[in-house]
Amino acid sequence: MLQLTLLGATGSIGGSTLDLVSRHPDRYSIYALTANTNVDEMVRLCLLFQPRFAVMADASSADRVKVLLDGKPTKVLSGETALSEVAADVEVDIVVAAIVGAVGLMPTLSAVKAGKRILLANKEALVMAGSLFMDEVTEHGATLLPVDSEHNAIFQCLPAGYTVGTKPSGITKILLTGSGGPFRELPLGDFDKVTPQQAIAHPNWDMGPKISVDSATMMNKGLELIEACWLFDVDETDIDIVLHKQSIIHSLVAYNDGSVLAQMGMPDMRTPIANALAWPERIKSGVEPLDLIRVSQLNFEVADENRFPCLRLARAAFRQGGTSMAILNAANEMAVENFLANRIKFTEIAELIEKTLENVEAQAVDDLQTILADNFRAREYVQQQIKRLAI
């Protein structure tokens, strides 16, 4: 019986993971669940899975969970320190890192330093601290497995015995697919009229609001490109981004003998999570089988950086190196948050990110404190710019 800590239990990845745990109660048990402030859902999950620990982001939410779980065996904690503790506990075998945003970096690093098997769904950990993160994985003998559908697809298409973080042999190109989100065919002149409700209505995937907006701007694909560079030890020039609106082929790997391997399946996150949970075995996921006759057609297009400038900005940040990627991520998180709050236009997301990259000077990455400091500086800069826009 493997003990799991699930960081981000109330999100979409958390829900898919818990569905798989429910399907395989003989293999997996929940040690700890963590969440932001969704008290009702956390209480429901604790009653269902009876974890040893439940961790909320703040003391107020934790106190409410405690009251509702009065008399139950789950111990309720709060704060960043508690997140890191349940990720690194000696009894934990697997940590599913599914917290969205920069807040997921520290507990995921704690799991790495404890040598855990980490199922990585948090893009920001690698985007912000890629070189340091991968060095820690090597130093502490952690097992890192990608859960994002695209990175898991790439992993499945690489040679047998491949280890994440090493350069694969015989590879000429990685093809990272993306649906293009809800606005892949929207006239460019209509982009400044896009509402948050339209942006979060993804045509293929059921995701939270932040990731859905990232899909609409295609910043999600820019972050995934950066993440892939660190996971598979390749340069950004080794990766092409291809629009594939059906979301059936989740990514491809081209080899020097002319072979191109693709991982295919229905757009359901239980497939990559199941692959990483049981690796190198395979377990049933409950995902609907792929019916190619019903799908009938697969389309591919070039990802237009004029339509989706966030792709260009992500490549530029990776090329610049240092803390540029942490600055990019911080600016994007702040811009998306303010777009969802109707404070800025959809088109101003990319504009704010570009201004931040131009005006917040990046530094060489010597330690984690440098990354966190530039993350903070970038957030402050974006907030100042948004105040000026409101005047």
pLDDT digits (tens, 9 = 90+) for 118-134: 999 988 889 999 999 99
Judge whether 314 lies within some domain: no
Q: Give the model's confidence band at 181: pLDDT under 50 very low, under 70 low, under 90 confident, else very high.
A: confident
Q: How many domains does the chain have?
A: 3
pLDDT value at position 123? Answer: 85
Query: In terms of domains, do 156 and 243 share one?
Result: yes
Query: In terms of domains, do 37 and 170 share one?
Result: no
Query: In terms of domains, do 205 and 296 share one?
Result: yes
Query: In terms of domains, do 95 and 203 share one?
Result: no
d(CA 318, CA 123): 14
Judge whether 374 lies within some domain: yes
Q: Is the pLDDT of residue 391 over 80?
A: no
Q: Is the pLDDT of residue 206 over 70?
A: no
Q: What is the mean pLDDT of the chain?
A: 95
Query: In terms of domains, do 332 and 242 share one?
Result: no
Mean pLDDT of 221-235: 97
Judge whether 213 lies within some domain: yes
Q: What is the pLDDT of residues 146-163, one digit of tens each?
A: 999 999 999 999 999 999
d(CA 90, CA 67): 28
Query: In terms of domains, do 267 and 124 share one?
Result: no
CA distances 234 to 106, 278, 343, Å, are: 25, 26, 38
Q: Which two tokens stand for residue 123?
A: 């893009």
Query: In terms of domains, do 67 and 112 share one?
Result: yes
Domain boundary among 87, 111, 146: 146
Q: Which two tokens stand for residue 260?
A: 């191109």
Query: In terms of domains, do 82 and 220 share one?
Result: no
CB 103 within 8 A of CB 120: no
Note if the bond before 280 is cis, omega within 30 degrees. yes
Q: What is the pLDDT of residues 236-261, one digit of tens each?
A: 999 999 999 999 999 999 999 999 99
Burial of 187 (0-12, 13-18, 19+ CB in 10 A): exposed
Q: 372 CB contacts (<8 Å, ≥6 apart)?
A: none
pLDDT value at position 60? Answer: 97
Judge whether 315 lies within some domain: no
Q: What is the pLDDT of residues 25-54, one digit of tens each?
A: 999 999 999 999 999 999 999 999 999 999
Query: In terms of domains, do 367 and 276 share one?
Result: no
Give the burial string for 310-330 (b: 16+ CB within 10 Å, else e).
bbebbbebbeeebbbbbbbbb
Q: Is the pLDDT of residue 204 over 70?
A: no
Pick left, alpha or beta for residue 269 (phi over 0 → left; psi -120 to 50 → alpha; otherwise beta): alpha
d(CA 374, CA 195): 30
Q: Give the model's confidence band at 390: pLDDT under 50 very low, under 70 low, under 90 confident, else very high.
A: confident
CATH number of the CATH domain containing 131: 3.40.50.720
Neighbours of 298 (CB within 10 A): 13
Query: In terms of domains, do 178 and 300 share one?
Result: yes
Q: Give the model's confidence band at 100: pLDDT under 50 very low, under 70 low, under 90 confident, else very high.
A: confident
Q: Is the pLDDT of residue 357 over 90?
A: yes
Query: In terms of domains, do 305 and 341 share one?
Result: no
Cα(first)–Cα(last) distance of the chain, in Å?
58
Domain boundary among 117, 146, 175: 146
The DSSP line for 325-384 is HHHHHHHHHHHHHHHHTTSS-THHHHHHHHHHHHHS------SHHHHHHHHHHHHHHHHH
Q: Give the model's confidence band at 1: pLDDT under 50 very low, under 70 low, under 90 confident, else very high.
A: very high
Q: What is the pLDDT of residues 60-81, one digit of tens each?
A: 999 999 999 999 999 999 999 9
Q: Which two tokens stand for residue 7?
A: 């960081």
CB 108 within 8 A of CB 134: no
Q: What is the pLDDT of residues 83-98, one digit of tens each?
A: 999 999 999 999 999 9
Give the range of the structural domain holding residue 117, as residue numbers without chain letter. 2-146
Query: In terms of domains, do 301 and 325 share one?
Result: no
Q: Which two tokens stand for residue 275?
A: 């692959």
Q: Which two tokens stand for residue 42?
A: 């956390």
Q: What is the pLDDT of residues 294-344, one digit of tens each?
A: 999 999 999 999 999 999 999 999 999 999 999 999 999 999 999 999 999
Which one, of 79, 98, 10, 54, lies nearest residue 111 by Cα? Answer: 98
CB 316 within 8 A of CB 357: yes
Domain boundary among 116, 146, 176: 146
Neighbours of 388 (CB within 10 A): 8
Q: Give the model's confidence band at 289: pLDDT under 50 very low, under 70 low, under 90 confident, else very high.
A: very high
pLDDT value at position 205? Answer: 64
Q: If you count DSSP H runs as helices and E runs as strands, how many of each does the chain have, helices first?
A: 16, 12
CB 168 within 8 A of CB 235: no
